[in-house]
Chains A and B, each alone.
Chain A
Amino acid sequence: DGGITQSPKYLFRKEGQNVTLSCEQNLNHDAMYWYRQDPGQGLRLIYYSQIVNDFQKGDIAEGYSVSREKKESFPLTVTSAQKNPTAFYLCASSIKMPSGSLYEQYFGPGTRLTVT
């Protein structure tokens, strides 16, 4: 089965601790993304990566870090510097055409992070 997996589904952490959210895809997609969703709001882009070993900040990158060592994997670390880390985190991937155009993004099931 092809798709995007995120783990864990629910995550609880104490304030001040770093936590890493997993995102894996076997769709052979080039581009991968991390979004954050807060209640009543749309998705806000944290980081994105077009190719292995390359990634760019999105709109709300402060307090987060990522790596892209393999095409299939794009883990997100929520650091203690993130002021309001409690949120629903969604990972997505898409095919990137040679022209640079973007096909639709496919989303993973999400990780709900609660920091107390």
Chain B
Amino acid sequence: EDKVVQSPLSLVVHEGDTVTLNCSYEVTNFRSLLWYKQEKKAPTFLFMLTSSGIEKKSGRLSSILDKKELFSILNITATQTGDSAVYLCAVNEKSGSARQLTFGSGTQLTVLP
């Protein structure tokens, strides 16, 4: 069973559009949720969310977490072609070990000029 589910799997928009990417999760001892952007190689860190209802913002990107409904959204406003990438969501579970990052399969975003 998938613990972290992202939707949609892929999305094609035009420059200037606003997009919302979804990540739902089902874990026993939630600690945090992370968003990454992967353009071709290494995923780069975007946000870490731990508290429900508090928006994290960086430029045109923003993200919010709903711990009651077990999901997060990543918003990108005024999209640009450089936003084209795979966006990965990962959930960190509380545990005695350091391993707990479970990744979703990602959303492939394509922004057309």
- Contact status B42-A107, CB under 8 Å: yes
B41 touches A109 (CB 8 A): yes
Interface size range of chain B in the complex: 20 to 34
Residues of A88-115 at the interface with B, using a CB-CB cut-off of 8 Å, are 90, 94, 96, 100-110
In this assembly, does A31 line the interface, its C-beta being within 8 Å of a C-beta of chain B?
yes
Of A13-21, A43-51, A74-82, the one contacting chain B is A43-51
**For the complex, is A2 an interface residue (Cβ under 8 Å from B)?**
no
Query: By the criterion of a CB under 8 Å from any partner CB, how many residues of chain A are at the interface?
Result: 29
| Distance A56 CA – B96 CA, assembled complex (angstroms) | 13
Closest to A48 in B: B99
Task: Given the known inter-chain contacts A50-B98, A94-B98, A108-B42, please indicate yes or no for A102 contacting B103, CB distance below 8 A.
Answer: no
8 pairs, A vs B, C-beta closer than 8 Å: A30-B98, A42-B6, A42-B90, A43-B88, A102-B101, A103-B48, A105-B45, A106-B45
